[in-house]
A and B are shown apart, each in its own frame.
Chain A
Amino acid sequence: MAVLKKPTNRSLKGDFGLGDYAQLVVRIAIARPRFLLGYLIVIVVILLGAFAPWIAPYSPVEADPSRVLLPPSWNYLMGTDSVGMDIFSRTIFAPRIDLTIAVSATLISAALGSLIGAIVGYYGEGKGIRSWLGGGVMRSADVIQAFPVFVLAIALVASLGQSPSTVVAAITFVNTPIYLRLMRSQVLSIRRARFVQAARVAGCSDWSIIMRHVMPNAMSPVLAQLSVNIGWAVLLTAGLSFVGAGVRAPTPEWGSMIAMGFQDLVTGYWWPSVCPGLVLSISVFGFTLVGASIEVFSDPAKRRTLISEISPRKVTQVTSEPAH
């Protein structure tokens, strides 16, 4: 079945005001409360990170040996860690680093991977040298993906020197093949669609075909992947920091905080590891939910199912067809 259907004048193309859109948002929120939850979580986490200097009760990097390993209390909402730093303050400062790294890496790898993937998908088949180059790119992507992801990331960070930007580079490198493949397979299937051939016959340049016809249709799985990917990148950053190949202490970062609390946890002091991990998990959860919502909004079949589940609104007066 064709990806795109010809437009029909099925619904009244009247003027829909802000009120109608607001009602629509509310109806979607009622039918799928998890979407609302996801967006809320993401917004809260971003705000916490952005306003951390004003919200945090204590400095995130000052150690105070007199208040080591205090349990959660009103003074220290998440307790203190083994060197006396307030865990709550550090936890809400952490999004600054974690989210920045994750979002940058994801966006760069998505842009890079999609572009290369689109080019390979569009040009990479057929005559001689093109298919060789295309094949070469794909086999390189294979090789990158055959690597154990974690070891590759650690190796990259080790070789480039340990800093937030190298962590971004490492995650980008590991992530790009995913978008490359995704985009390439989308482009391959769309390229064969009739409307693309029609555009070519009509004389459109290759570039305009790619930009105006192929990319918009291919974007939807990429978009759906982005938010989920950000969540995964946060987890990878935390994992790298956990082994000591990510963000260096004492910069507040969820993974390194969990690592610091490891030994203490086994002996019963759970809060230095559990609390930042909880906040980390909730943040990633939020991004995943947002990703799920984008997936539904961008896939016509899922959209239809969602529409059929939204409670029918009260029917307003039917406006008659404008006279022709």
Chain B
Amino acid sequence: MSKTYFDETHCAIGHPKSTFMQWMLTVDHKRIGIMYAAVMFVFFFVAVFTAFAMRLELFAPGGQYMDGDTFNQAFTLHGVIMIFLFIIPGIPAIFGNIVMPLMIGAKDVSFPRLNWFTFWLYIAGCCIALASLFIGEGVADTGWTFYAPYSMNTGTNVIMALVAAFVLGFASILTGLNFLVTIHRLRAPGMTFFKMPLFVWGIYATAWIQLLATPVVGITLILAILEKYFGIGIFDPAKGGDPVLFQHLFWIYSHPAVYLMILPAFGIMSEIIPTFSRKEVFGYRTIALSSASIAGIGYLVWGHHLYTSGMSDVAKTVFSFLTFFVAIPTGVKFYDWVATMYQGKIVLSTPMIWAMGTIVTFAIGGITGITITMIGLDIHLQDTYYTVAHFHYAILGGVVFLMFAGMHYWFPLVTGKLYDEGKAKIAFWLNFIGFNLLWFPMFIAGYYGMPRRYFDYLPEFQIYHQISFVGAVVFIAGLIYMFWVFFKGWTKGEASTPNPWNATTLEWHLPTSPPPLENHTKVPYVDFEPYEYHHGEPVVKFNYETMQRID
């Protein structure tokens, strides 16, 4: 049997004998991606169970077993882990690493050793964040946004959370930089930008955001640290500083960051839809360019987080209009996906039903986002459960669902095994139903005025919280079941062929499954479009030894 990337690897320093050290020092983009996935999903479950603890507390009005301060720390922990440790680095670090170089026919990323260093920088950031749990007065209680001036005055470990966020941001910058150079330099001969698979476009747009927006939040966090330790006065009203400036600087990054989360997820969607519709993607260029324009417009909309923070009416109106604009390229993508499915030979495999489920959930998340773009409505709905539900529909129902779709889609590629389709579909339905049950009542509760971040509430909101609780139980059961299906698939599943889905892009044209250490046997010459189907069959076929086209 030929060797795969599980059997051999290149290392950053020397070449140790032990398998464990080989994993620790590996520069192989596929191994690094898997290690990211392992770490991130551990943190994901920590944050999920923190959220579940809050749901338990909210089952009935009044304090049950958590006081207000602990509750504040719980939602901060949930937010910090989910945002900084899981969802921002998530898809780029996992699938950008594993799949993107394969898609463009490269042997690795441009700077493999930097990639290795970046992974360990990420781990360092995680360690700092974890340490803040156990040192001093415990984890920060400010919410993940660290708004001044409260974050400057609280006794909890805000500094460590800020340092962790900075280190993680730096890792994110380096990942983006690495991917940008990789996409610019290492595409296989003949692959022009408009012949790249759409996931690569998503990663490309994301990498620009990582590169250009993250330094702004980096310096903001440093200024906050300097403020707290050295009292430079910049966010401290006692010295003439302006706390609203912190909000501006913070959201200049953190709003593009949500596009940084969603763009690679849209990329996954754009891979899955044509593959399982057995049809060329509708409007390739519009999808590619809408990624780029979302990245561009995304920079100019941060002000919609500050409608109630004190901003001139002119600025509010401008930000409101700019925010509407960002919905246009997103809408273009949605129509393109639906049009791709039209008259296609749709195969309802698990990745496809995840993608189709996401079209529903993200549409709800996106359209409720449009409602709170309107200034008047937002004044009413700001800081209520409505906004919380919108965010979770967009990010959990959009980004994370598509990440799961991608996991199902690329699982055979990464592991060389197949999972049980039937069970994976049961897991999808558990997740989908649990998810909607969990978050939809929050729209209603929020509309009637249930504020977010409260550990107590008026009795009339109880029914919504209780429905949410039931949803949470179903959802978590679904999550655990899904990972169980993956685990069973990896350990006991059938062996997969290199191209189990009849997909067209280059990552499915490898000689073995899982791929060998240096990917394709030879680099192919790309003179075809990424999604060429004819009567439901892939057009382009390769001889996997010579990587010559044989169709």
- Do A and B belong to a common assembly? no
Task: Mark B residues whose CB is within 8 Å of A.
Answer: none
